[in-house]
């Protein structure tokens, strides 16, 4: 992954955070210490403007915990 590409996303990310102010607090709460542990089920549902739905889920395993810690550190920076 090219780090420069991530820098190009910064203005869009700032706009996204402004447009959806409840998302970051939700993600921070979900990644709070001890809330997500091995065996946690994360489910995502997307409903488009016509009402069509797509869903998926993942069960967190021990390998995922390191990634989630890194994700938490990014959210808190």
Domain around 54: 3-75
Q: How does pLDDT run across 9-26, given as a tens digit for each residue? A: 889 989 999 999 999 888
Q: Is the pLDDT of residue 1 over 80?
A: no
- Mean of the pLDDT values across residues 32-56? 93
Residue 35 is predicted with a pLDDT of 85
What is the pTM (predicted TM-score) of this model?
0.68
Residue 2 is predicted with a pLDDT of 81
Report whether 37 contacts 31 (CB < 8 A): no
Across all residues in the chain, what is the average pLDDT? 89
Domain tally, the chain: 1
């Amino acid at each position: 992954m090219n780090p420069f590409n991530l820098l190009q996303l910064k203005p869009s990310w700032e706009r996204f955070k402004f447009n959806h102010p409840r998302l970051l607090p939700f993600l921070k709460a979900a990644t709070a210490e001890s809330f997500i542990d091995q065996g946690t089920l994360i489910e995502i549902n997307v409903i488009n403007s016509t009402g069509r739905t797509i869903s998926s889920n993942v069960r967190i395993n021990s390998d995922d915990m390191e990634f989630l810690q890194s994700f938490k550190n990014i959210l808190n920076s």
